[in-house]
Amino acid sequence: MKNKNTDLNPEIFSALSTMDQNSLQQLKPSFSPVDKPQPKNMFISPKAIEKRWQAISCPAAREHLLDQNTLASMSQYQKNIENFIGTVKVPVGIAGPLRINGLFAQDDYFLPLATTEAALVASYNRGALLITEAGGCSTMLLNEGVCRTPGFAFETLIQAGQFVAWATTQQENFRQISEASSNHLKLKDLRINIEGNNVYLIFDYLTGDASGQNMVTIATNCALEYIIENTPVAPKHYFLDANLSGDKKATSQSLAGVRGKKVTSEITISADLIKKRLHTTPELMASFWRMSTVGGVLSGSVGVQGHYANGLAALYIACGQDAACVAESAVGVTRMELNDDGSLYAAVTLPNLMVGTVGGGTGLASQQANLQLLGLAGAGNARALAEVCAGLCLAGELSIIGAFCAGHFAKAHRKLAR
Protein backbone atom coordinates (compact mmCIF):
# COMPACT_ATOMS: atom_id res chain seq x y z
CA MET A 1 0.00 0.00 0.00
CA LYS A 2 1.13 3.56 -0.72
CA ASN A 3 1.56 6.13 2.03
CA LYS A 4 -1.80 7.92 2.06
CA ASN A 5 -0.13 11.33 1.73
CA THR A 6 2.02 10.62 -1.32
CA ASP A 7 1.92 8.78 -4.63
CA LEU A 8 5.43 7.42 -4.05
CA ASN A 9 6.08 3.70 -3.90
CA PRO A 10 6.37 2.76 -0.17
CA GLU A 11 9.97 1.54 -0.56
CA ILE A 12 10.99 4.76 -2.32
CA PHE A 13 9.16 6.84 0.29
CA SER A 14 10.95 5.00 3.08
CA ALA A 15 14.36 5.38 1.40
CA LEU A 16 13.90 9.13 0.86
CA SER A 17 12.75 9.59 4.43
CA THR A 18 16.00 8.10 5.80
CA MET A 19 18.49 9.71 3.38
CA ASP A 20 20.87 12.30 4.82
CA GLN A 21 21.94 15.50 3.06
CA ASN A 22 25.08 13.92 1.61
CA SER A 23 23.09 11.12 0.05
CA LEU A 24 20.63 13.58 -1.49
CA GLN A 25 23.52 15.22 -3.39
CA GLN A 26 23.28 12.45 -5.97
CA LEU A 27 19.94 13.88 -7.14
CA LYS A 28 21.37 17.33 -7.91
CA PRO A 29 22.56 18.44 -11.38
CA SER A 30 26.08 17.36 -12.35
CA PHE A 31 28.19 19.41 -14.76
CA SER A 32 31.26 17.19 -14.93
CA PRO A 33 32.60 16.68 -18.49
CA VAL A 34 31.26 13.76 -20.53
CA ASP A 35 34.03 11.16 -20.75
CA LYS A 36 33.12 9.65 -24.11
CA PRO A 37 30.99 11.88 -26.36
CA GLN A 38 29.80 10.40 -29.61
CA PRO A 39 30.74 12.12 -32.89
CA LYS A 40 28.67 15.14 -33.96
CA ASN A 41 28.25 13.70 -37.44
CA MET A 42 24.84 11.98 -37.28
CA PHE A 43 25.08 10.38 -40.72
CA ILE A 44 26.17 6.87 -41.62
CA SER A 45 29.85 6.31 -42.36
CA PRO A 46 32.32 3.63 -41.20
CA LYS A 47 34.33 6.29 -39.36
CA ALA A 48 31.33 7.70 -37.49
CA ILE A 49 30.08 4.24 -36.56
CA GLU A 50 33.50 3.28 -35.22
CA LYS A 51 33.63 6.41 -33.05
CA ARG A 52 30.18 5.72 -31.66
CA TRP A 53 31.16 2.20 -30.66
CA GLN A 54 34.34 3.53 -29.07
CA ALA A 55 32.15 5.82 -26.95
CA ILE A 56 29.78 2.98 -26.04
CA SER A 57 32.59 0.55 -25.14
CA CYS A 58 30.47 -2.58 -25.19
CA PRO A 59 32.02 -5.26 -27.45
CA ALA A 60 29.38 -7.84 -26.51
CA ALA A 61 26.60 -5.60 -27.80
CA ARG A 62 28.54 -4.69 -30.93
CA GLU A 63 28.87 -8.34 -31.89
CA HIS A 64 25.08 -8.67 -32.15
CA LEU A 65 24.10 -5.23 -33.45
CA LEU A 66 26.80 -4.70 -36.08
CA ASP A 67 27.26 -8.03 -37.86
CA GLN A 68 28.70 -8.45 -41.35
CA ASN A 69 25.33 -8.33 -43.09
CA THR A 70 24.53 -5.04 -41.37
CA LEU A 71 27.89 -3.58 -42.34
CA ALA A 72 27.36 -4.59 -45.95
CA SER A 73 23.91 -3.00 -46.19
CA MET A 74 24.18 -0.02 -43.86
CA SER A 75 24.12 2.60 -46.62
CA GLN A 76 20.46 1.82 -47.34
CA TYR A 77 19.51 3.22 -43.92
CA GLN A 78 20.95 6.69 -44.63
CA LYS A 79 17.56 8.43 -44.84
CA ASN A 80 15.90 6.40 -42.09
CA ILE A 81 18.03 6.90 -38.98
CA GLU A 82 20.66 9.06 -37.31
CA ASN A 83 23.58 8.07 -35.04
CA PHE A 84 23.46 4.58 -36.54
CA ILE A 85 25.19 1.74 -34.65
CA GLY A 86 23.58 -1.42 -36.06
CA THR A 87 20.37 -3.33 -36.51
CA VAL A 88 17.99 -5.32 -34.32
CA LYS A 89 16.53 -8.58 -35.59
CA VAL A 90 12.86 -9.07 -34.73
CA PRO A 91 11.32 -12.47 -35.49
CA VAL A 92 8.57 -12.47 -38.12
CA GLY A 93 5.69 -14.92 -38.24
CA ILE A 94 2.75 -15.13 -40.62
CA ALA A 95 -0.95 -15.22 -39.86
CA GLY A 96 -3.52 -16.37 -42.36
CA PRO A 97 -4.58 -16.70 -44.98
CA LEU A 98 -7.04 -13.91 -44.18
CA ARG A 99 -9.77 -13.41 -46.78
CA ILE A 100 -10.61 -9.74 -47.38
CA ASN A 101 -13.59 -8.79 -49.53
CA GLY A 102 -12.87 -5.09 -49.82
CA LEU A 103 -13.15 -2.15 -52.15
CA PHE A 104 -9.38 -2.20 -52.65
CA ALA A 105 -8.15 -5.40 -50.95
CA GLN A 106 -9.61 -8.53 -52.53
CA ASP A 107 -7.54 -11.60 -51.82
CA ASP A 108 -6.45 -14.22 -49.29
CA TYR A 109 -3.56 -12.53 -47.47
CA PHE A 110 -0.69 -13.99 -45.49
CA LEU A 111 0.13 -11.32 -42.91
CA PRO A 112 3.75 -10.83 -41.79
CA LEU A 113 3.85 -9.93 -38.09
CA ALA A 114 7.10 -8.88 -36.41
CA THR A 115 6.95 -9.36 -32.65
CA THR A 116 8.67 -10.84 -29.62
CA GLU A 117 5.36 -11.49 -27.83
CA ALA A 118 4.54 -15.18 -27.72
CA ALA A 119 0.91 -16.14 -28.50
CA LEU A 120 0.33 -13.00 -30.59
CA VAL A 121 0.79 -14.56 -34.03
CA ALA A 122 -1.08 -17.67 -32.95
CA SER A 123 -4.05 -15.58 -31.85
CA TYR A 124 -4.23 -13.52 -35.04
CA ASN A 125 -3.72 -16.64 -37.12
CA ARG A 126 -6.70 -18.30 -35.43
CA GLY A 127 -8.87 -15.26 -36.05
CA ALA A 128 -7.74 -15.00 -39.67
CA LEU A 129 -8.53 -18.64 -40.40
CA LEU A 130 -11.94 -18.25 -38.75
CA ILE A 131 -12.77 -15.25 -40.94
CA THR A 132 -11.63 -17.05 -44.07
CA GLU A 133 -13.68 -20.13 -43.25
CA ALA A 134 -16.71 -17.86 -42.74
CA GLY A 135 -16.33 -16.45 -46.25
CA GLY A 136 -14.09 -13.49 -45.50
CA CYS A 137 -14.76 -10.07 -44.02
CA SER A 138 -16.45 -7.26 -45.94
CA THR A 139 -14.16 -4.25 -45.65
CA MET A 140 -14.54 -0.68 -46.82
CA LEU A 141 -12.25 2.35 -46.81
CA LEU A 142 -14.51 5.26 -45.84
CA ASN A 143 -12.35 8.37 -45.78
CA GLU A 144 -8.76 9.58 -45.77
CA GLY A 145 -6.74 12.66 -44.87
CA VAL A 146 -3.68 13.75 -42.89
CA CYS A 147 -3.52 17.14 -41.18
CA ARG A 148 -1.05 19.62 -39.74
CA THR A 149 -2.35 22.33 -37.43
CA PRO A 150 -0.21 25.47 -37.13
CA GLY A 151 -1.10 27.76 -34.21
CA PHE A 152 -0.98 31.57 -34.02
CA ALA A 153 -1.09 33.70 -30.85
CA PHE A 154 -2.38 37.30 -31.04
CA GLU A 155 -2.72 40.13 -28.55
CA THR A 156 -6.52 40.19 -28.66
CA LEU A 157 -9.53 38.34 -29.98
CA ILE A 158 -10.10 41.24 -32.39
CA GLN A 159 -6.69 40.62 -33.98
CA ALA A 160 -7.41 36.89 -34.12
CA GLY A 161 -10.69 37.62 -35.90
CA GLN A 162 -8.96 39.90 -38.41
CA PHE A 163 -6.41 37.18 -39.12
CA VAL A 164 -9.16 34.58 -39.64
CA ALA A 165 -11.04 36.91 -41.98
CA TRP A 166 -7.90 37.19 -44.10
CA ALA A 167 -6.95 33.50 -43.92
CA THR A 168 -10.36 32.41 -45.22
CA THR A 169 -9.65 34.32 -48.45
CA GLN A 170 -6.30 32.57 -48.96
CA GLN A 171 -7.25 28.93 -49.38
CA GLU A 172 -6.43 28.85 -53.09
CA ASN A 173 -3.01 30.39 -52.41
CA PHE A 174 -2.44 27.87 -49.63
CA ARG A 175 -3.41 25.10 -52.05
CA GLN A 176 -0.97 26.18 -54.75
CA ILE A 177 1.90 26.73 -52.31
CA SER A 178 1.48 23.50 -50.37
CA GLU A 179 0.88 21.30 -53.41
CA ALA A 180 3.99 22.73 -55.10
CA SER A 181 6.06 21.02 -52.39
CA SER A 182 5.13 17.50 -53.56
CA ASN A 183 4.03 15.69 -56.70
CA HIS A 184 1.58 13.57 -54.71
CA LEU A 185 0.05 15.84 -52.06
CA LYS A 186 -3.36 17.52 -52.40
CA LEU A 187 -4.89 20.06 -50.01
CA LYS A 188 -8.24 18.52 -49.14
CA ASP A 189 -9.64 21.13 -46.78
CA LEU A 190 -8.78 24.07 -44.54
CA ARG A 191 -10.61 24.45 -41.24
CA ILE A 192 -10.20 27.03 -38.51
CA ASN A 193 -10.48 26.79 -34.73
CA ILE A 194 -10.48 29.93 -32.56
CA GLU A 195 -9.72 29.71 -28.84
CA GLY A 196 -9.68 33.21 -27.32
CA ASN A 197 -6.83 35.11 -28.93
CA ASN A 198 -5.31 31.90 -30.36
CA VAL A 199 -6.05 30.60 -33.85
CA TYR A 200 -5.46 27.08 -35.13
CA LEU A 201 -5.43 26.45 -38.88
CA ILE A 202 -6.22 22.84 -39.74
CA PHE A 203 -4.60 21.92 -43.07
CA ASP A 204 -6.06 18.58 -44.21
CA TYR A 205 -4.27 16.77 -47.05
CA LEU A 206 -4.43 13.69 -49.23
CA THR A 207 -0.99 12.06 -49.42
CA GLY A 208 -1.36 9.39 -52.11
CA ASP A 209 0.30 6.08 -51.24
CA ALA A 210 2.58 7.54 -48.59
CA SER A 211 1.68 7.61 -44.93
CA GLY A 212 2.45 11.29 -45.31
CA GLN A 213 3.66 12.76 -42.00
CA ASN A 214 6.82 14.28 -43.49
CA MET A 215 4.97 15.31 -46.63
CA VAL A 216 2.34 17.34 -44.78
CA THR A 217 4.96 18.85 -42.48
CA ILE A 218 6.95 20.24 -45.41
CA ALA A 219 3.83 21.42 -47.26
CA THR A 220 2.39 23.19 -44.21
CA ASN A 221 5.71 24.87 -43.50
CA CYS A 222 5.64 26.33 -47.02
CA ALA A 223 2.13 27.69 -46.37
CA LEU A 224 3.25 29.00 -42.97
CA GLU A 225 6.09 30.99 -44.54
CA TYR A 226 3.60 32.56 -46.95
CA ILE A 227 1.28 33.43 -44.05
CA ILE A 228 3.96 35.18 -42.01
CA GLU A 229 5.13 37.17 -45.03
CA ASN A 230 1.62 38.30 -46.06
CA THR A 231 -0.69 38.39 -43.05
CA PRO A 232 -2.16 41.84 -42.33
CA VAL A 233 -2.04 41.07 -38.59
CA ALA A 234 1.27 39.75 -37.30
CA PRO A 235 0.99 37.14 -34.53
CA LYS A 236 3.00 37.48 -31.33
CA HIS A 237 4.32 34.00 -32.02
CA TYR A 238 3.41 30.95 -34.08
CA PHE A 239 4.19 27.24 -34.33
CA LEU A 240 4.18 24.78 -37.22
CA ASP A 241 1.96 22.36 -35.29
CA ALA A 242 0.04 23.33 -32.17
CA ASN A 243 -1.04 19.80 -31.19
CA LEU A 244 -4.53 19.85 -32.69
CA SER A 245 -3.58 17.33 -35.38
CA GLY A 246 -3.71 14.24 -33.17
CA ASP A 247 -0.29 13.17 -34.43
CA LYS A 248 0.92 10.06 -32.57
CA LYS A 249 -1.71 10.15 -29.85
CA ALA A 250 -5.23 8.90 -29.22
CA THR A 251 -7.78 11.72 -29.53
CA SER A 252 -11.56 12.00 -29.43
CA GLN A 253 -11.32 14.31 -32.46
CA SER A 254 -9.77 11.63 -34.62
CA LEU A 255 -12.26 9.03 -33.38
CA ALA A 256 -15.09 11.15 -34.80
CA GLY A 257 -13.25 12.10 -38.00
CA VAL A 258 -10.27 10.69 -39.85
CA ARG A 259 -6.51 10.76 -39.59
CA GLY A 260 -4.77 8.70 -42.23
CA LYS A 261 -7.39 6.26 -43.48
CA LYS A 262 -10.74 5.38 -41.95
CA VAL A 263 -11.79 1.77 -42.53
CA THR A 264 -14.58 -0.48 -41.31
CA SER A 265 -14.79 -4.27 -41.55
CA GLU A 266 -17.60 -6.70 -40.70
CA ILE A 267 -18.44 -10.38 -40.71
CA THR A 268 -21.26 -12.72 -39.72
CA ILE A 269 -20.23 -16.10 -38.28
CA SER A 270 -22.53 -19.02 -37.58
CA ALA A 271 -22.94 -20.46 -34.08
CA ASP A 272 -21.61 -23.81 -35.31
CA LEU A 273 -18.40 -22.25 -36.59
CA ILE A 274 -17.94 -20.23 -33.39
CA LYS A 275 -18.29 -23.42 -31.37
CA LYS A 276 -15.98 -25.39 -33.68
CA ARG A 277 -13.15 -22.84 -33.87
CA LEU A 278 -13.45 -20.71 -30.71
CA HIS A 279 -15.07 -23.26 -28.38
CA THR A 280 -17.69 -20.81 -27.15
CA THR A 281 -21.03 -19.31 -28.25
CA PRO A 282 -22.14 -16.12 -30.00
CA GLU A 283 -24.33 -15.32 -26.98
CA LEU A 284 -21.36 -15.34 -24.61
CA MET A 285 -19.18 -13.32 -27.01
CA ALA A 286 -21.89 -10.67 -27.32
CA SER A 287 -22.24 -10.57 -23.54
CA PHE A 288 -18.48 -10.18 -23.14
CA TRP A 289 -18.52 -7.32 -25.66
CA ARG A 290 -21.25 -5.50 -23.73
CA MET A 291 -19.44 -5.84 -20.42
CA SER A 292 -16.06 -4.89 -21.88
CA THR A 293 -17.59 -1.86 -23.58
CA VAL A 294 -18.85 -0.59 -20.25
CA GLY A 295 -15.41 -1.35 -18.81
CA GLY A 296 -13.85 0.74 -21.57
CA VAL A 297 -16.17 3.65 -20.81
CA LEU A 298 -15.42 3.41 -17.09
CA SER A 299 -11.68 3.48 -17.80
CA GLY A 300 -11.96 6.56 -20.02
CA SER A 301 -10.88 4.72 -23.15
CA VAL A 302 -10.83 6.67 -26.45
CA GLY A 303 -12.86 4.22 -28.47
CA VAL A 304 -13.61 0.72 -27.23
CA GLN A 305 -11.66 -2.28 -28.47
CA GLY A 306 -9.66 -5.22 -27.20
CA HIS A 307 -6.13 -5.05 -28.56
CA TYR A 308 -5.80 -3.38 -31.96
CA ALA A 309 -2.29 -2.26 -31.00
CA ASN A 310 -0.98 -5.84 -30.86
CA GLY A 311 -1.63 -6.65 -34.50
CA LEU A 312 -0.99 -3.17 -35.86
CA ALA A 313 2.38 -2.80 -34.12
CA ALA A 314 3.53 -6.18 -35.42
CA LEU A 315 2.37 -5.44 -38.98
CA TYR A 316 3.76 -1.90 -38.92
CA ILE A 317 7.21 -3.05 -37.83
CA ALA A 318 7.26 -5.83 -40.41
CA CYS A 319 6.16 -3.57 -43.27
CA GLY A 320 8.17 -0.39 -42.64
CA GLN A 321 5.41 1.78 -41.20
CA ASP A 322 6.00 4.41 -38.51
CA ALA A 323 5.53 2.26 -35.42
CA ALA A 324 4.80 5.28 -33.21
CA CYS A 325 1.64 5.89 -35.24
CA VAL A 326 0.13 2.86 -33.52
CA ALA A 327 -0.71 5.39 -30.78
CA GLU A 328 -3.41 6.87 -33.02
CA SER A 329 -3.99 3.94 -35.38
CA ALA A 330 -5.11 1.68 -32.54
CA VAL A 331 -8.08 3.95 -31.77
CA GLY A 332 -11.41 2.51 -32.84
CA VAL A 333 -14.60 0.68 -32.01
CA THR A 334 -15.32 -3.05 -31.92
CA ARG A 335 -18.91 -4.25 -31.94
CA MET A 336 -20.32 -7.75 -31.46
CA GLU A 337 -24.03 -8.56 -31.50
CA LEU A 338 -26.22 -11.63 -31.57
CA ASN A 339 -28.30 -11.99 -34.75
CA ASP A 340 -31.88 -13.29 -34.77
CA ASP A 341 -30.70 -16.60 -36.24
CA GLY A 342 -28.19 -17.12 -33.44
CA SER A 343 -25.12 -16.15 -35.48
CA LEU A 344 -22.59 -13.52 -34.42
CA TYR A 345 -22.25 -10.14 -36.09
CA ALA A 346 -18.81 -8.59 -35.54
CA ALA A 347 -17.41 -5.30 -36.82
CA VAL A 348 -14.43 -3.01 -36.28
CA THR A 349 -14.04 0.62 -37.31
CA LEU A 350 -10.63 2.28 -37.29
CA PRO A 351 -10.56 5.99 -38.24
CA ASN A 352 -6.81 6.59 -37.86
CA LEU A 353 -4.87 4.04 -39.89
CA MET A 354 -1.59 5.76 -40.75
CA VAL A 355 -0.17 3.47 -43.43
CA GLY A 356 1.65 3.77 -46.73
CA THR A 357 3.24 1.55 -49.34
CA VAL A 358 5.85 4.06 -50.52
CA GLY A 359 8.25 6.28 -48.59
CA GLY A 360 9.55 6.01 -45.04
CA GLY A 361 10.74 2.55 -44.13
CA THR A 362 8.80 0.75 -46.88
CA GLY A 363 11.77 0.76 -49.24
CA LEU A 364 14.16 -1.06 -46.90
CA ALA A 365 14.97 -4.59 -47.99
CA SER A 366 13.22 -6.62 -45.28
CA GLN A 367 10.24 -4.32 -45.04
CA GLN A 368 9.84 -4.25 -48.82
CA ALA A 369 9.99 -8.05 -48.82
CA ASN A 370 7.09 -8.21 -46.37
CA LEU A 371 5.02 -5.81 -48.46
CA GLN A 372 5.78 -8.02 -51.48
CA LEU A 373 4.69 -11.05 -49.46
CA LEU A 374 1.37 -9.25 -48.98
CA GLY A 375 1.27 -8.33 -52.67
CA LEU A 376 0.97 -4.67 -51.66
CA ALA A 377 4.40 -3.17 -52.35
CA GLY A 378 4.72 0.15 -54.15
CA ALA A 379 2.35 2.76 -55.52
CA GLY A 380 -1.36 2.09 -55.78
CA ASN A 381 -1.62 -0.16 -52.73
CA ALA A 382 -1.98 2.05 -49.64
CA ARG A 383 -5.77 1.87 -49.58
CA ALA A 384 -5.67 -1.91 -49.85
CA LEU A 385 -3.12 -2.06 -47.02
CA ALA A 386 -5.48 -0.04 -44.81
CA GLU A 387 -8.30 -2.48 -45.52
CA VAL A 388 -5.99 -5.38 -44.66
CA CYS A 389 -5.16 -3.67 -41.36
CA ALA A 390 -8.87 -3.51 -40.49
CA GLY A 391 -9.30 -7.20 -41.33
CA LEU A 392 -6.30 -8.02 -39.17
CA CYS A 393 -7.81 -6.15 -36.22
CA LEU A 394 -11.15 -7.92 -36.70
CA ALA A 395 -9.32 -11.26 -36.62
CA GLY A 396 -7.58 -10.28 -33.40
CA GLU A 397 -10.79 -9.17 -31.72
CA LEU A 398 -12.61 -12.39 -32.57
CA SER A 399 -9.73 -14.49 -31.33
CA ILE A 400 -9.09 -12.71 -28.04
CA ILE A 401 -12.78 -12.40 -27.12
CA GLY A 402 -13.25 -16.06 -28.00
CA ALA A 403 -10.32 -16.94 -25.74
CA PHE A 404 -11.75 -14.99 -22.80
CA CYS A 405 -15.18 -16.55 -23.28
CA ALA A 406 -13.78 -20.09 -23.49
CA GLY A 407 -11.45 -19.55 -20.54
CA HIS A 408 -8.41 -20.18 -22.74
CA PHE A 409 -6.63 -16.80 -22.52
CA ALA A 410 -4.24 -17.62 -19.66
CA LYS A 411 -3.90 -21.23 -20.84
CA ALA A 412 -2.67 -20.12 -24.28
CA HIS A 413 -0.05 -17.84 -22.74
CA ARG A 414 1.15 -20.57 -20.39
CA LYS A 415 1.48 -22.97 -23.31
CA LEU A 416 3.18 -20.60 -25.80
CA ALA A 417 5.04 -18.09 -23.63
CA ARG A 418 6.60 -20.40 -21.02
Q: Are residues 325 and 215 in the same domain?
A: no
pTM, to two decimals: 0.93
Whole-number pLDDT of residue 254 = 81
pLDDT, tens digit (0-9, with 9 covering 90-100), for 105-129: 999 999 999 999 999 999 999 999 9
Whole-number pLDDT of residue 17 = 76
Which residue range(s) make up the domain with 52?
36-87
Whole-number pLDDT of residue 396 = 98
C-alpha angle with apex 76: 71 to 78, nearest 5 degrees? Answer: 100
Q: Are residues 301 and 389 in the same domain?
A: yes
What percentage of the chain reaches a pLDDT higher than 90?
A: 86
Which pLDDT band, with edges at 50, 70 and 90, does 418 fall under?
low
Q: Are residues 288 and 405 in the same domain?
A: yes
Q: Are residues 372 and 323 in the same domain?
A: yes
Instruction: Specify the CATH number for the domain of residue 210.
Output: 3.30.70.420
Query: Within 13 Å and on the Cβ side, how many CA atoms surround 62?
Result: 12
Number of other residues whose CB lies within 10 A of the CB of residue 246: 22
Whole-number pLDDT of residue 14 = 77
DSSP assigned state of 283: H
Q: How much is the mean pLDDT over the chain?
A: 93
160 close to 194: Cβ distance less than 8 angstroms = yes
Q: Are residues 218 and 302 in the same domain?
A: no
- Which candidate, 221, 148, 144, 164, places its Cα nearest to that of 384? 144
Whole-number pLDDT of residue 26 = 78
Annotated catalytic sites, by residue?
Answer: 117, 322, 413
pLDDT, tens digit (0-9, with 9 covering 90-100), for 180-235: 999 999 999 999 999 999 999 999 999 999 999 999 999 999 999 999 999 999 99
Q: Report how many domains make up the chain.
A: 3
pLDDT, tens digit (0-9, with 9 covering 90-100), for 397-416: 999 999 999 997 766 666 76
Whole-number pLDDT of residue 413 = 64
Q: For the chain, how long is the longest CA-to-CA vector?
A: 74
Q: Are residues 325 and 367 in the same domain?
A: yes
Residue 17 lies in a domain: no
355 close to 58: Cβ distance less than 8 angstroms = no
